[in-house]
Amino acid sequence: MTAGVGRGSFRWRGALRHRNFRLFWFGQLISLVGTWMQSIGLAWLVLLLTHDPLWLGFVAAAQFLPVLILGLFGGIIADVLPKRRTLVGTQTASMLLAFVLAALTFANVAQVWEILLLAALLGLVNAVDMPTRQSFVIEMVGVEDVTNAVGLNSAVFNAARIVGPALGGILIGLVGVTACFFLNGVSFIAVIVGLLLMRESDLRAAARLARPTSVRAVADDLAEGLRYVRATPVVLLAVCLVGFVSTFAMNFNVIAPALAQDVLGVGATGLGFLLSSMGLGSLVAALLVASLRRPRPWIMVVGALVLGVLEVALGGIRSYPFALVAMFGAGAGAIAMMVSANTAIQLAVPDRLRGRVMSVYTTVFSGSTPIGAPVIGWLASAFSTEVALIVGGATAIVAALVAGAWVLRGGLSLLPGSLAERLGPEAVAAAGPPPGAGT
């Protein structure tokens, strides 16, 4: 793809050659650092208030349960409303919630029930924001650059995962948790301004879904998205693989602290380096996948397999340097799987269904947290950290092998462009799955 021309002689390449995506991407770069700062600040605040890490699980459940329950309805909203304006609304709501949390802590009146309520409200916002944001990418860059765009979004997410917690930890030590929440609120301004500065004429906006006026109409709209997932093999593979692996094998926020303290004996500093190593691996994989013109189903499968094998290896590792290497590889495998799955769905889905189908993906991925985290935490508590790691990794290996057999049996591959975009959803429904795809 020929690079676009920017100001002067500078030439942007890939997804960044699109002005609207540049505004969005650089805004995310700032905002996500704030998000990770708030994440570490919130965890520290909950521990200060309760002195019990179990409450961290309750806060996570409060934040992600709304996504699990309402995420599919968020997909309908994404298909009905203009995505850019919807994102301005969700990002503004997230900003206000961060400022409320900052005000509560600044006044020294924050209580656990208030934190749980704010986490639940943020979950409600994310139930709309996540499918809208995911499906908005292709409207900014088009089919030709969507692989690069998804990879770059994942890269900035993981870069922020390295920088944000480190800055948050420094701020907590210097001035307290309020600064983390306040600066996170300020960071949303970058995204909101970027969205407002976008040129509407440059967006490849899809025809919007008619607003449902009855419960039956809502149910029919949901069913249409779910039917498309079930009838499109590459989408079904991506959703099932990511859902299963993220539920059981990607709970490092639960298991990594125990690994650092009880198994490796490296304390909080060592934990920070373990998570940073995983973040670096994720960043490298995201950039590599972003360089591809088209995703391949095999990248999803190999990524899941690498994650599973290295997580099992972590269950038997006692050497800290080897654990750092394993965490780097596990992070790379996880992100290779997720970026490839996300891009595969983006390319396979017609515009009018994209919000609803992406809501299935985000619901399965984020909704796995309140399900899988307690299971892995119970395994670590009832048996050992090593058992929890081995069980989690083994499930990823099994999922990868089943997915690999599916790909081999069906000859699963991505089309040069979405069949639905060329024929229309009615023709696809009549014709059945794409040629060469498994059943």
How high is the pLDDT of residue 86?
A: 93
How high is the pLDDT of residue 293?
A: 65
Identify the band that residue 8 occupies on the pLDDT scale cut at 50, 70 and 90.
very low
Distance CA 428, CA 349 (A): 11
Tokens 């088009």, located at residue: 142
CA distances from 316 to 80, 88, 319, 329 (A): 50, 47, 9, 16
271 burial via Cβ count (<10 Å: 0-12, 13-18, 19+): middle
69 burial via Cβ count (<10 Å: 0-12, 13-18, 19+): middle
How high is the pLDDT of residue 275?
A: 74
Residue 316 neighbours by CB distance under 10 Å: 11
Residue 273 neighbours by CB distance under 10 Å: 15
Q: Which has more pLDDT, 139 or 326?
A: 326
Terminal alpha carbon distance of the chain: 33
Distance CA 273, CA 159 (A): 14
How high is the pLDDT of residue 53?
A: 58
Q: Which has more pLDDT, 359 or 110?
A: 110
Angle between helix 215-231 and 54-80 (nearest 10)? 100
Asked if 11-204 and 225-415+424-433 have one fold, the answer is yes
Strands, E assignment, 85-136: none
Does the structure show a pLDDT above 90 at 394?
yes
Stretch among 265-269, 328-332, 343-347 having the lowest mean pLDDT: 265-269
How high is the pLDDT of residue 411?
A: 57
Quote the DSSP letter at residue 302: H
Distance CA 416, CA 403 (A): 22
Percent of the chain with pLDDT over 70: 83
Give the residue extent of every domain in the chain.
Answer: 11-204, 225-415+424-433
The predicted-structure confidence for 361-391, as pLDDT tens digits, reads as follows: 777 777 676 777 778 777 877 788 888 899 9
Instruction: Please list, in sequence order, all residues whose beta carbon lies within 8 angstroms of the beta carbon of residue 85, skipping any fewer than 6 positions away.
Output: none
Distance of alpha carbon 210 from its chain centroid, rounded?
28
CATH of domain 225-415+424-433: 1.20.1250.20
438: enclosing H helix or E strand: none
Whether 132 and 355 have beta carbons less than 8 Å apart is answered as: yes
Distance CA 136, CA 89 (A): 14
Residue 13 neighbours by CB distance under 10 Å: 13
Query: Which one, of 291, 296, 331, lies nearest residue 310 by Cα?
Result: 331
Q: Is 376 left (phi over 0), alpha (psi -120 to 50) or beta?
A: alpha
> Average of pLDDT values for 63-79?
78
Identify the band that residue 424 occupies on the pLDDT scale cut at 50, 70 and 90.
very low
In 51-82, where does DSSP find H-type helix? Answer: 54-80
Architecture of domain 11-204: Up-down Bundle (1.20)
Which string of DSSP letters, residue by residue, matches 172-228? HHHT-THHHHHHHHHHHHHHHHHHHHS-GGG--PPPPPPPP-SHHHHHHHHHHHHHH
Whether 39 and 181 have beta carbons less than 8 Å apart is answered as: no
| Global confidence as pTM | 0.69
Whether 161 and 98 have beta carbons less than 8 Å apart is answered as: no
Counting every residue written for the chain, the total comes to 439
